[in-house]
């Protein structure tokens, strides 16, 4: 299935390609927070100006997370559907969710900042992931949710810490055969 072209994703991957040498060096040092901070510092404003803020930042967050999870050698699946429910990112995979939900993390990246819509999405996800602590949220402005929440902002973004938290989750659950990121 061919994905349709996306200006935000293209912009992100162009930036990553232009910064490839420095980013690969940071990856080799497991400095994922610095990579996310750098991308947000250099891409946030342009991405916001490209159209709908929440949707564009969701695309940026999803693309960046997918790129970093791949480079951190953390098994994940992106943009899949299970029981009619759309999942943005699942770690490690759907099969593990069905066998052992406590070893599975779902990252929800809604294309909205409407709290009711986000709560409905979280309720849907809880039907397939009964462990509420294993459903994390990436949003574009600070709001109160019971789930672990990351806010994607240009400066001092809590989103910067998400890869370390995911790696810690994976290591604690015993999924990482390599323990790539030592937390």
Per-run averaged pLDDT (10 residues), the chain, 183 residues: 73 95 92 95 95 91 94 91 95 95 96 95 97 96 95 92 93 59 44
So what's the pLDDT on residue 107? 98
Angstrom distances, CA of residue 111 to CA of 54, 70, 121, 134: 5, 23, 11, 20
Q: What is the pTM of this model?
A: 0.89
The DSSP call for residue 2 is P
Give me the residue spans of the domains in the chain: 7-172
Give the C-alpha distances (Å, rounded to integers) separating 85 from 4, 108, 112, 122, 181: 21, 11, 17, 11, 31
Q: What are phi and psi of 14, to 5 degrees?
A: -65, -45
The per-residue pLDDT for 143 is 94
Residue pair 137/118 in contact (Cβ under 8 Å)? The answer is: yes
What 3-state DSSP class applies to 89?
Answer: strand
- CB-count burial class (<10 Å; 0-12, 13-18, 19+) for 69: buried
**pLDDT attached to residue 96:** 95
Quote the pLDDT of residue 6.
87
Of 73, 71, 101, the residue nearest 87 (C-alpha): 101
Question: d(Cα 152, Cα 27) in Å, to the nearest integer?
Answer: 20
Distance CA(50)–CA(151), nearest Å, equals 20
pLDDT value of residue 73: 87
Per-residue pLDDT, 1: 46
* Residue 59 near residue 65 (C-beta atoms within 8 A): no
């Amino acid at each position: 299935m061919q994905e349709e072209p996306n200006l935000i994703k293209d912009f992100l991957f162009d930036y990553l390609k232009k910064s490839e040498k420095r980013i690969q060096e940071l990856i080799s040092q497991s400095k994922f927070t610095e990579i996310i901070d750098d991308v947000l510092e250099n891409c946030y404003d342009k991405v916001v100006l490209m159209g709908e803020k929440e949707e564009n930042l969701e695309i940026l967050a999803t693309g960046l997370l997918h790129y970093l999870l791949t480079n951190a050698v953390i098994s994940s699946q992106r943009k899949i559907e299970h029981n009619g429910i759309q999942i943005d990112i699942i770690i490690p995979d759907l099969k593990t969710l069905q066998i052992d939900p406590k070893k599975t993390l779902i990252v929800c990246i809604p294309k909205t900042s409407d709290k009711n819509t986000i709560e409905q999405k979280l309720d849907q996800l809880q039907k397939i992931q009964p462990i509420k602590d294993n459903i994390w949220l990436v949003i574009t402005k600070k709001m109160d949710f019971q789930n672990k929440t990351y806010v994607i902002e240009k400066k001092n973004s809590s989103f910067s810490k998400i890869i370390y938290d995911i790696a810690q989750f994976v290591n604690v659950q015993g999924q990482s055969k390599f323990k790539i990121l030592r937390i």
